[in-house]
Amino acid sequence: MAISLAIIVLLGIIIHQLFVKVKLPGFLGILFLGMAIGPYGLDWIDETILNLSEDLRKIALIIILLRAGLGLNRYALKMVGKPAVRLGFLPLIAEGFTIMLVAGYFLELSISEAGMLGFIVAAVSPAVIVPKMLSYMKSGKGEEKGIPAMILAGASIDDVVAITIFSSFAGIYTGEQLNIAGHLIVIPLSILTGILAGLTVSLSILYLFKKFKIRHTKKLLVILAMAIFLTSLEDILENIVPISSLLGVMVIGIIIMERKSSLAMELSARFEKVWVFAEIFLFFLVGMEVNFYLALDAGLIGTGLIFTGLIARSAGVWLSLIKTKLSSKEKGFCILAYSPKATVQAAIGSIPLTLGAPAGELILAIAVLSIIVTAPFGAISMNIAGKKVFRG
């Protein structure tokens, strides 16, 4: 295992630098590295890493969301409130149901299978979007209209909605859930409980810091540990009360920023250093999950389905931003920023197969293909469009 960790870190740093040097996002190189030397490639990685993959990816995602929260403030959230909420719902629903209808017709899938496919593919990737938006916020680009903050907030809601609707269709398949409309009520409840959980944890953390003198490095570890406990709470209480734990993690950062801005800036700088390490593992492990042989099986039909969904998502983003003061170029940037998939697809793409769905293997193949197609496309287009839209 130690040798595998050394290989991941050394090759990850080298390939990250090479991609940055040729003006490509560094994480793409790490993603491709995971595909190349993971179990579906050269198979250089110890099986222990494979077994820990889900937990390591979750920790890395928590670090991203904490950084995102620490970079947001009340003013930014107030400025982008309604558009961010619309972005959290409309594009996802437009894409998910479009893929569901098209897949049901052309691939002859059942309603439940087509629904699972639609909302696996539709979820955007915080892992791809958040770091780029944070870099724009750090440099002050797009801040005048709050574009990065709006995309950050919308993306966090997007995943909550996607996973909830996916769970509804999975429930229909297993016979546990018969009423989609009733299940959709869970979405606002999940968002509300996530916010309340994040608020409770953050206030507890601030009280602890007030009572005890703790070094900033230890404060970072306390926050990270509490955030991990919060995400674990979602699994423990899933049959009792729904909690959007990842949204709650972002709220922890937001509250700390609101109550102790100087502490938030200090912690943000430290989390930025931790992210250097976490980024390598997150994207390597996501790449490691990608079975590109399986993706080839999805072929042209799968590619067409993915781009049809992206067209519907684009229309949803445009509708969400109609009442804003954003220019056409800025709206176009938001459309591109909302295109990449990775983390959710890697996490839940195999669930229909484990449920015994006849189309489970096809669903997994299209989920994998969506990562290969949209993660590079979204990341590169965000870079190019960002330079044109956010000049200076």
pLDDT, residue 221, reads: 94
Residue 195 and residue 247 in contact, taking contact as beta carbons nearer than 8 Å: yes
Cβ neighbours of 186 (radius 10 Å) = 18
Q: Is 41 helix (H, G, I), strand (E, B) or coil?
A: coil
Q: How far apart are CA 17 and CA 345, in angstroms?
A: 26
How far, in Å, are 139, 144, 288, 384, 391 from residue 20 at the CA level?
18, 27, 21, 14, 20
Yes or no: say if 242 and 186 are a contact pair by the CB < 8 Å rule: yes
CA–CA separation, 351 and 338 (whole Å) = 24
64-to-126, 127, 139, 327, 383 alpha-carbon distances in Å: 8, 7, 17, 28, 19
**Chain position carrying tokens 């950050």:** 152
Compute the chain's Rg from CA coordinates.
20
What is the domain partition of the chain in residue ranges?
Answer: 53-389
Using CA atoms, how far apart are residues 354 and 331, in angstroms rounded to an integer?
39
> Which position has the token pair 């996802």?
92
**Euclidean distance between CA atoms 35 and 208, whole angstroms:** 42
348 and 120 Cβ atoms separated by less than 8 Å: yes
If the chain, 392 residues long, is cut into consecutive pieces of 10 residues, what is the mean pLDDT of each piece?
A: 91 93 85 90 87 84 87 72 89 96 91 93 88 85 85 86 84 65 70 91 94 90 94 79 84 92 90 88 84 77 93 96 90 94 82 87 88 89 86 61
Element (H or E) spanning 50, and its range?
Answer: helix 47-70
DSSP 3-state of 29 = helix
- What is the distance between the alpha carbons of residues 214 and 76, in angstroms, rounded to a whole number? 29
Could you write out the DSSP letters of every residue in 196-252?
Answer: HHHHHHHHHHHHHHHHS---HHHHHHHHHHHHHHHHHHHHHTTTTS---HHHHHHHH
pLDDT score, position 313: 97
Identity of the amino acid at 303:
T
In words, the CATH class of domain 53-389 is mainly alpha
In sign, the C-alpha dihedral spanning 385, 77, 130, 353 is: negative
